[in-house]
Amino acid sequence: MSTDDRQYDLVVWGATGFAGRLTAEYLTERYGPSTLSLALGGRDPDRLDSVAADLAARSEWDDLPTVVGDATEPESLGDIARSTRVVCTTVGPYTRYGTPLVEACVEAGTDYCDLTGEVNWMRETIDRYHDEAVEAGARIVHGCGFDSVPADIGTLLVQSHALDAFDAPCESVRIYVDDASGGVSGGTLSSMAEVFEAASTDPLARETLRNPYSLAPAGERDGVDAGAGPWPQKDRLRGVWTAPSPMAQVNERVVRRSNALLGYPWGREFRCSEVVTTGRGAEGAVTAALLTGGLGLFTAAMTVAPLRSAIRRHVFPDPGEGPSRDRIENGHFTVRVVGRGTAREGSFTVEAEFGTDLDPGYGAAARMLGESAVCLVRGDVDSSLDGGVLTPASGIGMPLVERLRDAGFTAAVSDTETPPGDAGADHG
Ligand SMILES: NC(=O)c1ccc[n+]([C@@H]2O[C@H](COP(=O)([O-])OP(=O)(O)OC[C@H]3O[C@@H](n4cnc5c(N)ncnc54)[C@H](OP(=O)(O)O)[C@@H]3O)[C@@H](O)[C@H]2O)c1
């Protein structure tokens, strides 16, 4: 279905929210009205006008159009989806508000990207809309923020390099969150709580969280890879201690889905795992134990319904609240992806470093989502999949790396060969 005659290139849906406003701000600073036909979307016309006026005053935009709808009124979402070539959405929790917009985009053949890390909801949209989205030629790309761009695109970077340099993929990759400093918003915490809520009531959500291959296509939901595991580990390859990553549950599954959607270029026995690096020696071991214990306690508390609602009410910030501008601008993150493979000449290691000097979940996520959307608008995608419920690596691919480099991200890749006879250390 051609979308060339649409009124807008891109609607930022949720522009009055914390992450949506940052995304709209980034796009209006980076792109002018002569290169991008942009509209801001939301449910409250007055607040939307005020965001539009504020962003126009800080940029070269004289006027920013707005579109009004409500996630609970599907007809309004149909109108929005038919008015634009791409929608990028930050209206979450997606489990609660996301499905009607995906449906509207699939029906209108409109490309779509979001910031979701709600793995239960991704499974729902895969099962309900993947085939229809393929048919309609609508790219529905989940996980275009801190979950899961660094892990998924970092893995693509490593594997593309391995295939170019060694004519073989890495059999395993480990994703290390080496460093991350930033804050968290009410919307993100509320979305996290929604996953625990779903797991307590919905058997499919529980199965999705249990099965490492739950986001793979139907009929391909098993395999050899169990992921990182919920305990501290001494990483043999790098000699550092690691703790479980709170994002592993989503990122590992997204990377496995990428491999499957791309037709298994990394092999059916490909393994991936994500961990948080805590350092070397006794200090690294103690930090890993403390982080593991903290994550375990938080998970246990969020599993108990009365504790979960007390934490939501009394501890989490309200929706719309988030880290200060100072914190966003002074945040940073580095994610390192290390792959191990075997070529005819011997074994090899490929390493990618991906990061930037901005808070990962907000300043950086706004750029990752904004640039994903611009890739879709421009058709700047390196993928044979022109429809379906996709991942950043399978739905957009390497052009996103180039755009993020231009936007100030580091995305570097290098390799080392292990001398013949030396099998080399594995991750651990
Ligand atoms: N993966 C990542 O890196 C990452 C980073 C940041 C955020 N996120 C995710 O992004 C989502 C948003 O986070 P946030 O902090 O921006 O949350 P937020 O500030 O609460 O924003 C939520 C947005 O949803 C809108 N909304 C709520 N109900 C609606 C409805 N019925 N119809 C239309 N719009 C509705 C809100 O509109 P009003 O302004 O009118 O209330 C607001 O614009 C969350 O799911 C979060 O987990 C992910």
| Mean pLDDT of the region 306-328 | 91
Residues 6+ apart with CB under 8 A from 349: 237, 338, 339, 340, 341, 415, 416, 418, 424
Distance CA 86, CA 81 (A): 8
Residue 251 lies in a domain: yes
Same domain, 22 and 60: yes
Structure-token match 């099965």, residue found? 211
Same domain, 199 and 337: yes
Same domain, 137 and 180: no
Which residue's CA is the nearest one to ligand 1's atom 30? 71
pLDDT at position 383 is: 85
Distance CA 221, CA 213 (A): 5
Residue 393's CATH number:
3.40.50.720
Average pLDDT of the chain? 95
Q: Are strands 388-390 and 84-89 parallel, antiparallel or unpaired?
A: unpaired
Distance CA 156, CA 392 (A): 10
pLDDT at position 345 is: 87
Q: Is the pLDDT of residue 405 over 60?
A: yes
- 20: tokens are 């949506």
Same domain, 77 and 175: no
| Residues 257, 210 contacting (CB under 8 angstroms) | no
Residue 270 lies in a domain: yes
User: Which regions of 306-408 does DSSP assign to beta strands (E)?
Assistant: 332-343, 346-356, 388-390
Same domain, 274 and 194: yes
- Share of residues in the chain with pLDDT > 70 (%): 98
| Mean pLDDT of the region 96-105 | 98
Confidence of residue 428 (pLDDT cuts 50, 70, 90): low
pLDDT digits (tens, 9 = 90+) for 104-163: 999 999 999 999 999 999 999 999 999 999 999 999 999 999 999 999 999 999 999 999
What is each CA distance from 298 to 206, 207, 230, 285, 294, in whole angstroms? 18, 21, 13, 20, 6
Confidence of residue 293 (pLDDT cuts 50, 70, 90): very high
Which of 2-6, 61-65, 145-149, 218-222 has the least mean pLDDT? 2-6
Residue 423 lies in a domain: no
Residue 428 lies in a domain: no
Q: Which residues pair with 272 in a beta bridge?
A: 173
Q: Is the pLDDT of residue 74 over 80?
A: yes
Q: Is the pLDDT of residue 250 over 70?
A: yes
Residue 2 lies in a domain: no
Same domain, 117 and 221: no
pLDDT digits (tens, 9 = 90+) for 48-58: 999 999 999 99
Same domain, 81 and 168: no
Q: Is the pLDDT of residue 425 over 70?
A: no
pLDDT at position 212 is: 98
Residue 130 lies in a domain: yes
User: Which regions of 267-420 does DSSP assign to beta strands (E)?
Assistant: 271-279, 332-343, 346-356, 388-390, 410-417
Count CA atoms within 13 Å of residue 307 on its CB side: 10
Same domain, 116 and 173: no
Distance CA 279, CA 151 (A): 20
Same domain, 390 and 312: no
What's the length of the chain?
Answer: 428
pLDDT at position 420 is: 54
Q: How far does residue 116's CA lie from ligand 1's centre (Å)? A: 10
Same domain, 330 and 373: no
Listing DSSP states for 190-207 in one string gives HHHHHHHHHHHH-HHHHH
Residue 3 lies in a domain: no
Q: Is the pLDDT of residue 423 over 70?
A: no
Residues 6+ apart with CB under 8 A from 181: 330, 331, 332, 333, 359
| Mean pLDDT of the region 189-216 | 95
Quote the domain boundaries for residue 134.
Answer: 8-145+362-406
pLDDT at position 326 is: 94
Confidence of residue 427 (pLDDT cuts 50, 70, 90): low
pLDDT at position 419 is: 58
Q: Which of 26, 188, 190 best tests ligand 1's pocket when mutated (most atoms within 8 Å of CB)?
A: 188
pLDDT at position 319 is: 87
Task: Return the amino acid letter for 114.
Answer: D
- 159: tokens are 């594997």
* Residues within 6 Å of ligand 1 by CB: 14, 16-20, 42-44, 70-72, 90-94, 97, 115, 117, 145-147, 185-188, 191, 319-320, 322, 361, 365
Which residue's CA is the nearest one to ligand 1's atom 26? 91
Confidence of residue 2 (pLDDT cuts 50, 70, 90): confident
Structure-token match 């309004």, residue found? 76
Q: Is the pLDDT of residue 28 over 70?
A: yes
Atom of ligand 1 nearest to the CA of 360: 3
Model confidence, pTM? 0.97
Q: How far does residue 117's CA lie from ligand 1's centre (Å)? A: 12
Burial of 155 (0-12, 13-18, 19+ CB in 10 A): buried
What is each CA distance from 230 to 190, 245, 287, in whole angstroms? 23, 8, 15
Same domain, 135 and 173: no
Total structural domains in the chain?
Answer: 2
pLDDT at position 426 is: 62
Q: How far does residue 338's CA lie from ligand 1's centre (Å)? A: 33
Which residue's CA is the nearest one to ligand 1's atom 25? 91
Q: How far does residue 191's CA lie from ligand 1's centre (Å)? A: 9
Q: Are strands 84-89 and 8-13 parallel, antiparallel or unpaired?
A: parallel
Q: Is the pLDDT of residue 422 over 80?
A: no
pLDDT at position 4 is: 82
Residue 16 lies in a domain: yes
Same domain, 195 and 331: yes
